[in-house]
Chain A
Amino acid sequence: MDDCKFRMVEMMHLYLSGAITDEEMQELQKWLDAAPENRVMFDRICKGKDILYKYRMYKKIDHRVACERCEKRVGIKRRNIRIWLKYAAILLLPLGSIFVLLRNNEREQPVEVATVDILPGETKATLILADGKSVVLEHDTTRDIVVGEGVNAKNSGRGIVYSTNGSEKRNLQYNVLQTPRGGEYQITLADGSMVQLNSATQLKFPVVFDEEKREVYLTGEAFFEVQKDEKRPFYVIADGIKIRVYGTSFNVNTHDKERVQTVLVEGSIGLSAEKGGPEYRMKPSQLGEYRRADASVNVKTVDIEPYIAWKDGFFVFENQTMEQIMNTLSLWYDVDIFYANEQLKNLHFTGHVKRYEQIDNILKAIKSAVGITFTIKDRTICISK
């Protein structure tokens, strides 16, 4: 097989994933026209009749067992202790120095950016109860927590879930769920609505909602999936704005100094300034922006992907400035950013990275692009030319 054929394989891969460009399509077309057999094969694959069968076969084959068998034969010994140490180093942050040692061993080029103990955020939060007591929440502890008089919530790997059948006659008791920088958490409220909290976010909510309305308070960033309930409207009050929800999913972000951004994925919401004023009805795929300076609201249609990708484990940056990107990263990786040169803040980037990876992937990409230097000391990243 020559390079051209490998390239055609790549083109077909792009075609099947719907990510092919017009130019590439022409190239593929040429090859398909070159011989009838080419087209026969291509058409058969496109029909996708045996892909699931093939995929199942593929998954049934165990390369690990095969590898272990062969390693013995070629005389490779598994360094179990080393593997163990590596994971231990990942789990225990203070062991940064061991981690450096191992990583340098593995790669031919030493990593210039020393980001040894800067890890992505994880599932953690603090719950503050009505009486002021606080409870630390982590994702692996399954337990019941008494969150109010006679009301329990269940915390597990999937977040904290408030029970739906609490009595509703008492006065409202509020709980506050807080994520630190470098944390995220998921909560299911008493009405079954789900809220995913991003880093450095705070959500205040009643343990049990009353009969007239459902009202929660947010600062930071969260993704809401609200249960429909015609009788009890759902409100989010977020740093100057009031969102009236008509059963839907949307993202609210108040981290920006200048504006509060709300993006609607499904359903319908109404956006207004908290102090009053007209309500703007938003449609799916729209961004509602509240400007803090003059309390104005502006609604427009956007590509919502960059705003909501975080909840599925991605960072999507569309033509954002270095400052915006670094602000996002600083919350998730719990680092502070220092610019040696103010101009650097205005560099623009477009990119797509996984959220659960180490920070150096993205720093390296930026570094190799503009010859910027990242120096990391403790939890501060210094950016200089």
Chain B
Amino acid sequence: MIGLKIVLMPKREEQFLQRINAKQPEAFRELFSEFYNSLVLFAMGFVVQQDVAEDVVQEVFIAVWERDAQYPTYNAFRSFLYNSVKNASLNYLKHKNVEEKYLASLNLEDEGDDIDLKMMEEELYRLLFKTIDELPDKCRNIFLLHLEGKGNEEIALLLNLSILTVKTQKKRAMSYIRERLGRVYFVMMSLGII
């Protein structure tokens, strides 16, 4: 074995951003499938009702589409989405003349770190849920129970599987997630050719 080379696939996310910047119609649909559900949950943290949260996010997405902006990085774009949804939610609350007390209890305008933590949490759930949805059925249930903090034995008992199967499926979920994160997708060792 002469060289070890790590190959990174072109990141899915960067490709998505390019499509967004180029305003390709398909990208609009992707925006919904990637971010809509999570941003609605995020907005519900402010406006509570689901239908209101959905309206808020839809307005934001339409504004994103009609706005003539280029986003330099995927992170900048994500950040922009979360901030826009937060601002739009607060705006809605202001116009609805929600009691000052409630607004004060949200404590948002000045505590930047706090809101960032909320966004981080939502983004984490977004990634987890997307991964869960893409796992094969068998893996999915095991992975969900694992996230609930259950141990291998307990999962095996609950799903009537052997502990070995639980372990195998968990391992598969994990390597799948690694791959999804666009990290070492294909490690290759070449013999003499490179």
Contacts and interface: CB of A to CB of B under 8 A. Distances in A.
Contact of A106 (B26, B124, B189): B26
Interface string B132-174: 1000101100011011110000000000001011001011111
Given A9-B120, A61-B40, A369-B188, A48 B32 contact: no
Interface string B1-30: 100010101000000001000100110110
B21 to A, nearest CB: 11
> Interface SS of chain A: helix, strand, loop or mixed?
helix
Given A17-B177, A61-B54, A66 B32 contact: yes
A16 B127 CA distance: 11
B75 A312 contact: no
A58 B129 CA distance: 8
A220 B134 CA distance: 30
B89 to A, nearest CB: 16
A312 B123 CA distance: 29
A350 B75 contact: no
B103 interface: no
Contact of A48 (B147, B174, B193): B147
Contacts of B25: 76
A37 B66 contact: no
A368 interface: yes
Contacts of B69: none
A378 to B, nearest CB: 27
Contacts of A38: 117
19 contacts: A1-B78, A1-B120, A5-B120, A9-B123, A19-B174, A37-B113, A38-B117, A51-B128, A54-B125, A55-B129, A266-B164, A284-B164, A304-B168, A305-B172, A308-B168, A319-B189, A350-B187, A350-B188, A370-B193
B176 to A, nearest CB: 7
Given A1-B82, A63-B33, A305-B168, A365 B7 contact: yes
Contact of B178 (A19, A108, A312, A344): A19
Contacts of A69: 58
B32 A63 contact: yes
B93 interface: no
Contacts of B174: 17-19
Given A63-B33, A350-B187, A1 B119 contact: yes
Nearest to B190: A347
Given A9-B127, A63-B33, A74-B62, A57 B188 contact: no
A351 B131 contact: no
Given A57-B41, A61-B37, A47 B149 contact: yes
Contacts of A369: 5, 7, 186, 188
Given A13-B127, A63-B37, A314-B172, 12 more contacts: A6-B123, A9-B120, A41-B117, A41-B120, A54-B41, A54-B125, A61-B54, A66-B32, A313-B136, A347-B190, A348-B1, A369-B5
Nearest to B175: A352
A366 interface: yes
Q: List the 5 closest pairs (A to B, CB-CB), nearest first.
A: A63-B36, A67-B32, A19-B174, A63-B32, A48-B148
A16 B149 CA distance: 10
A209 B174 CA distance: 41
A59 B130 CA distance: 11
Contacts of A13: 124, 127-128, 131, 177, 181
B116 A349 contact: no
